């Protein structure tokens, strides 16, 4: 019974059987073909039985397993590997059907490969999740055929595994490595010239060409009888808070991911960069109430704490309360900090309702309001209008795009800085603003 469940006739056999049936039909009209048709029938049956025997006589003809990460990175291509070892004494052709989580909605994940006897092949494919949570992988089904190709044997390898999808730690590591090796410009981060220097003295060193002559230490120069300059380092231990709005305005999707997930990925990256720059990273999430406050710190455990909190964040579709956010931050965060506020305003009226709270917050902290360009409007704006209805749609789209620029100007009017960005460029633009503020000595 178990053998029958894994026994399948291939399409090659049915083609041969159809040809044999045609020969039998012709032999009815041409008796001299009867002997040939009988011989062909015996040959086909012999090949069919032989094929089944060589495939099923070896109980463990192949061995396979799936190598998936212990966690997947949201919004990134995650590599999945399937290892397949051929234990037969002949080359086999394998059709692989992997049972991936239903969240991907991929129903045609099918691969065909050939494996030589006694060898192992590794097949690799990628999956890009767009939602955080637990994903359930099923079995790996492999349909194996010999060189005869009449019969296929089904092997099923139980690879059931629950894999959590976390915020984009791949993106975080990429920017972290670039920051360590000073190669952030490769990702689009601008190299910003430092304006003046910070007031944190580090040490005295020999003058080299290019040093600012205004930093010459004349007393040390007189003692050493050669030019010596003061070296200043970046001010450290500044607090950088990622404040994420998890209200309904952040549910809007772009390329399969919600604005909330883009904000979560970006806050993970900027927290890592801030800690690399010796600053302290903290986290606040809010909607109609403040959900989490993680005090800014730069201990080794801090990034893991941030990652675990971000993993569990979901929008609750409620109106975000900026009054509660402002009062909580002013009460809980006494030290002047950089507040990176991830939210979204679709109209100037939406900003006006919250502007008083943002102004109050900016008096105690350096606030950067980060909101999003609606890239879906570009297709309407760029498309030539052909009738009155399309003219109306294009006008409304241009109005929404214009209001986004008005929001930037309105915030600047009250000395509140902002970042208006596409979701795809969110991390790069946020890092650029953070480095700019450090270069200007504002944090």
Given this model, what pLDDT does residue 190 score?
A: 54
The partner residues of 110 in beta bridges, in order of sequence, read 97
The partner residues of 282 in beta bridges, in order of sequence, read 241
Residues in the chain: 443
Domains in the chain: ranges and CATH: 1-166 (2.60.40.10), 169-193+235-439 (3.40.50.410), 200-233 (no CATH)
Given this model, what pLDDT does residue 380 score?
A: 75
Q: What is the percent of the chain where pLDDT is above 90? A: 47
Q: Look up the pTM and report it.
A: 0.79
DSSP structural state of residue 75: T
DSSP structural state of residue 129: -
pLDDT band at 1; cut points 50, 70, 90: very low
Residue range 282-288: mean pLDDT, rounded: 95
pLDDT digits (tens, 9 = 90+) for 173-200: 877 656 555 555 555 555 554 544 445 5
Q: 202 — phi, psi (to 5°)?
A: -110, -65
> Reduced to 3 states, what is the DSSP secondary structure of residue 294?
strand
Q: What is the percent of the chain where pLDDT is above 70? A: 91
Q: Which residue has the tokens 């109306």?
A: 392
- Say yes or no to pLDDT of 388 above 90: no
Given this model, what pLDDT does residue 280 score?
A: 93
Residue range 297-306: mean pLDDT, rounded: 91
Given this model, what pLDDT does residue 304 score?
A: 92
Sign of the Cα pseudo-torsion (379, 380, 383, 386, in order):
positive
- Say yes or no to pLDDT of 157 above 80: yes
For residue 401, the surrounding DSSP H or E stretch is helix 388-413
pLDDT band at 2; cut points 50, 70, 90: very low
Mapped to the 3 state alphabet, what secondary structure does 167-233 carry? CCHHHHHHHHHHHHCCCHHHHCCCCCCCCCCCCEEEEEEECCCCCCHHHECHHHHHHHCCCEEEEEE
d(CA 157, CA 198): 61
Q: 386 — phi, psi (to 5°)?
A: -110, -20
Residue range 27-56: mean pLDDT, rounded: 84
pLDDT digits (tens, 9 = 90+) for 205-241: 888 877 777 788 888 888 888 888 887 655 557 899 9
Residue range 273-299: mean pLDDT, rounded: 92
Given this model, what pLDDT does residue 379 score?
A: 75
d(CA 3, CA 74): 41
Q: 407 — phi, psi (to 5°)?
A: -65, -40
Share the mean pLDDT of the chain.
Answer: 85
d(CA 215, CA 117): 72
């Amino acid at each position: 019974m178990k053998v029958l469940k894994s026994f399948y006739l291939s399409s090659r056999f049915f083609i041969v059987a159809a040809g044999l049936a045609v020969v039998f039909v012709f032999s009815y009209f041409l008796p001299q073909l009867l002997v040939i048709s009988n011989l062909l029938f015996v040959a086909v049956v012999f090949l069919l039985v032989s094929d089944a025997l060589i495939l099923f006589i070896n109980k463990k003809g192949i061995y396979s397993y799936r190598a998936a990460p212990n966690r997947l990175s949201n919004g990134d291509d995650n590599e999945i590997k399937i290892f397949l070892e051929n234990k037969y004494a002949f080359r086999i052709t394998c059709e692989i059907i992997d049972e991936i989580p239903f969240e991907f909605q991929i129903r045609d994940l099918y691969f065909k490969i050939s494996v030589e006897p006694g060898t192992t092949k590794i097949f690799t494919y990628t999956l890009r999740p767009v939602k955080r949570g637990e994903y359930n992988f099923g079995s790996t089904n492999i349909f194996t055929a010999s060189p005869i190709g009449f019969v296929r044997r089904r092997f099923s390898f139980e690879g059931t595994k629950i894999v959590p999808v976390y915020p984009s730690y791949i993106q975080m590591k990429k920017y972290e490595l670039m920051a360590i090796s000073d190669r952030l410009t490769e990702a689009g981060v601008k190299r910003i010239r430092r304006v003046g220097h910070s007031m944190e003295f580090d040490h005295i060193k020999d003058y080299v060409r290019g040093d600012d002559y205004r930093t010459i230490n004349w007393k040390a120069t007189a003692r050493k009888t050669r030019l010596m300059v003061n070296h200043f380092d970046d001010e450290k231990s500044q607090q950088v808070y990622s404040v994420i709005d998890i209200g309904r305005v952040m549910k809007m999707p772009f390329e399969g991911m919600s604005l909330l997930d883009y904000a979560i990925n970006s806050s993970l990256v900027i927290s890592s960069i801030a800690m690399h720059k010796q600053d302290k990273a903290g986290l606040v999430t809010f909607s109609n109430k403040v959900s989490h406050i993680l005090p800014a710190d730069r201990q080794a455990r801090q990034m893991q704490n941030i990652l675990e909190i971000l993993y569990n964040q979901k929008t609750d579709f409620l109106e975000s309360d900026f009054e509660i956010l402002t009062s909580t931050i002013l009460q809980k965060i006494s030290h002047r900090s950089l507040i990176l506020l991830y939210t979204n305003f679709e109209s100037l009226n939406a900003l006006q309702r919250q502007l008083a709270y943002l102004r109050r917050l900016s008096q105690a902290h350096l606030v950067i309001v980060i909101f999003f360009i609606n890239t879906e409007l570009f297709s309407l704006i760029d498309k030539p209008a052909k009738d009155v209805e399309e003219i109306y749609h294009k006008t409304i789209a241009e109005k929404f795009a214009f209001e986004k620029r008005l929001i930037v100007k309105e915030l600047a009017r009250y000395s509140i800085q902002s970042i208006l960005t596409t979701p795809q460029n969110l991390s790069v633009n946020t890092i650029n603003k953070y480095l700019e503020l450090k270069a200007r000595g504002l944090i």
